């Protein structure tokens, strides 16, 4: 029997790092090492020290090695999937000049609006980048830095996304992939290159940016001696270019050119995200027209307020997160950190419809309903961008794949079923971002297609069985009530955005 080979898929998210050790032949999950991150900031600010990500990666890999019992010599490849959009600015030695501005930092909303206008409006941006600048996008954050911390911007010798920063620490190579690059708003999905006119608009020298390789499975380089010593892994193993977390989850699900297309996915995490793999380049101002990690496209819409916002409501009410009931007449829009979809960066939460007999459990249920209606509205926009009619019975009958931490929560799953009326599939693996990154690592080590690798793993012996739940009758009363409040209140009650 040939010796076992192992690849490591790293999920460096907003809140933590996970390092999944995967049997490269079967896709079997051997162990997951974990380490937390620290996020700071208030009044719209959300920042993390990139050095914490590197230390967390070292800890997660060490823990995974110990728990898996795998000899380090068995590891043949590693890849990093990271939270999208974060702005990392480095000095000439490759050290951070300041904490990274994270995707959910909303201070750059005015810069996003100004950039949109400067190019001639939303349609001009989607034609080039597939996306319109919002506070989450890296271009908006760079513009904020230029205006608010000009000395730091002037001292910047390199700009990286979170996963680029970690890949460079592993290899010494400044590379990125089209998937994560497409979330910057200075990379053109129309041309597959950085857009010179947008770089000029942003006062940005292309020399500050990493090279864009073909796909996230491209070999970025080899693990350096220094990184190998820090991680306890063999020097010289393959390091893939990696990608953004949503692109990696799509690979882990087997979505893309070698797998399923146009099948919607709903991710319930810190943010609520909907996406689908498509061969058609999307261009809609209502969503982000990202590239995928395998050369296809990944139209995506993202909401800011999902599991953390609802957990906060549960904590305020002194309830367990699953101690929820349908909201009745109460409507709660849990926009505690502003909102991205719809674009309401200065929004706050809104509660209406209270009665004497409203219970705490109903208030918590109303928070779930507000979050789920928001993300399902985004799903409808996504389907339209893929050329599909959400009201078409065939389209409405397509299963909704539910992933992320919320997919393991009873209240989340039941609220999605009740408000979508769709069949729901919960994949067996709870580590899809890390699994996708592992497939990228395996592809970089062996030269195969990463989506095909993931499809084989998902269908192989020992693959975790997915759960299929039948559709429920759609709760149109709640759907219409929440939508009515949202549409009436998006201006004055939520902070004046429109």
Dump pLDDT digits (tens) for 122-153: 999 999 999 999 999 999 999 999 999 999 99
Q: Which domain holds residue 416?
A: 254-426+466-498
Report how far apart, in Å, the C-alpha atoms of 199 and of each of 193, 267, 488 are.
11, 32, 38
Question: Per the domain annotation, does 234 fall within a domain?
Answer: yes
Of residues 164, 245, 294, 337, which has the active-site annotation?
Answer: 245
Tell me, yes or no, whether 239 and 335 share the same domain: no
356 in a known ligand binding site: no
Looking at the 3D structure of the chain, how many domains does it have?
2
Tell me, yes or no, whether 240 and 389 share the same domain: no
Dump pLDDT digits (tens) for 461-498: 556 678 999 999 999 999 999 999 998 877 544 443 43
Report how far apart, in Å, the C-alpha atoms of 61 and of each of 28, 80, 231, 280, 443 are.
17, 12, 7, 37, 20
Dump pLDDT digits (tens) for 399-422: 999 998 899 999 999 999 999 999
Question: What is the predicted pLDDT for the residue at 357?
Answer: 96
Specify whether 357 is catalytic.
Answer: no
CATH number at residue 330: 3.30.420.40
Tell me, yes or no, whether 111 and 60 share the same domain: yes
Dump pLDDT digits (tens) for 172-198: 999 999 999 999 999 999 999 999 999
Tell me, yes or no, whether 238 and 216 share the same domain: yes
Tell me, yes or no, whether 292 and 350 share the same domain: yes
84 in a known ligand binding site: yes
Tell me, yes or no, whether 229 and 260 share the same domain: no
Tell me, yes or no, whether 375 and 321 share the same domain: yes
Out of 209, 229, 249, a domain closes at 249
Q: How far is CA 418 from the centre of its chain?
A: 25
Out of 249, 270, 289, a domain closes at 249
Out of 208, 230, 249, a domain closes at 249
Handedness of CA 158, 160, 166, 171 (dihedral sign): negative
Report how far apart, in Å, the C-alpha atoms of 422 and of each of 292, 397, 412 are.
25, 6, 14
Answer yes or no: pTM beyond 0.75.
yes
Question: Per the domain annotation, does 432 fall within a domain?
Answer: no
Tell me, yes or no, whether 202 and 264 share the same domain: no
Question: Per the domain annotation, does 442 fall within a domain?
Answer: no
């Amino acid at each position: 029997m040939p010796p076992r080979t192992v690849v490591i898929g790293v999920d460096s998210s907003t809140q933590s790092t996970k390092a999944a050790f995967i049997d490269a032949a079967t896709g079997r999950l051997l162990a997951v090492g974990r380490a937390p991150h620290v996020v700071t900031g208030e009044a719209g600010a959300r920042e993390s020290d990139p050095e914490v990500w590197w230390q967390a990666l070292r800890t997660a890999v060490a823990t995974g090695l110990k728990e898996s019992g795998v000899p380090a010599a068995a590891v043949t490849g590693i890849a990093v999937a990271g939270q999208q959009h974060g702005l990392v600015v480095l000095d000439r030695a490759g050290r951070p000049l300041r904490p990274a501005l994270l995707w959910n930092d909303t201070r750059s909303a005015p810069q996003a609006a100004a950039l949109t206008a400067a190019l001639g409006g939303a349609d001009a941006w989607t034609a080039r980048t597939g996306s319109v600048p919002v506070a989450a996008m890296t271009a908006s954050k760079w513009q904020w830095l230029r205006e608010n911390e000009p000395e730091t911007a002037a001292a910047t010798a390199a700009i990286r996304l979170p996963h680029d920063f970690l890949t460079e620490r592993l290899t010494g190579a400044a590379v990125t992939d089209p998937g994560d690059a497409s979330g910057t708003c200075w990379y053109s999905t129309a041309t597959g290159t950085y857009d010179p006119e947008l770089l000029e608009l942003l006062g940005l020298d292309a020399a500050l940016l990493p090279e864009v390789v073909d796909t996230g499975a491209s070999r970025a380089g080899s693990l350096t001696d220094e990184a190998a010593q820090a991680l306890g892994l063999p020097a010289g193993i393959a390091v893939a270019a990696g990608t953004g977390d949503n692109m990696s989850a799509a690979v882990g699900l087997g979505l893309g050119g070698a797998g399923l297309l146009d099948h919607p996915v709903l991710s319930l995490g810190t943010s609520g995200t909907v996406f689908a793999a498509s061969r058609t380049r999307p261009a809609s101002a209502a969503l982000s027209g990202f590239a995928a990690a395998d050369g296809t496209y990944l139209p995506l819409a993202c909401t800011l307020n999902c599991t953390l916002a609802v957990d906060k409501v549960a904590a305020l009410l002194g309830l367990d997160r699953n101690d929820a009931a349908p909201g009745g007449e109460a409507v709660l829009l849990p926009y505690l950190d502003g909102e991205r979809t719809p674009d309401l960066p200065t929004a706050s939460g809104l509660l209406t419809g209270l009665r004497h007999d409203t219970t705490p459990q109903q208030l918590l249920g109303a928070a779930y309903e507000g979050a789920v209606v928001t993300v399902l509205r985004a799903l409808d926009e996504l389907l339209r961008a893929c050329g599909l009619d959400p009201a078409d019975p065939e389209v409405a009958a397509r299963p909704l794949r539910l992933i992320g931490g919320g997919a393991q929560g009873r209240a989340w799953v039941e609220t999605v079923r009740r408000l979508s009326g769709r069949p729901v599939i919960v994949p067996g693996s709870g580590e899809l971002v890390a699994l996708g990154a592992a497939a990228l690592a395996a592809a970089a080590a062996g030269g195969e297609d990463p989506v095909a690798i993931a499809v084989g793993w998902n269908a192989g012996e020992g693959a975790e069985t997915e759960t299929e739940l039948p559709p429920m009758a759609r709760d149109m009363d709640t759907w219409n009530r929440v939508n009515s409040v949202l549409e009436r209140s998006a201006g004055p009650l939520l902070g004046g955005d429109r």
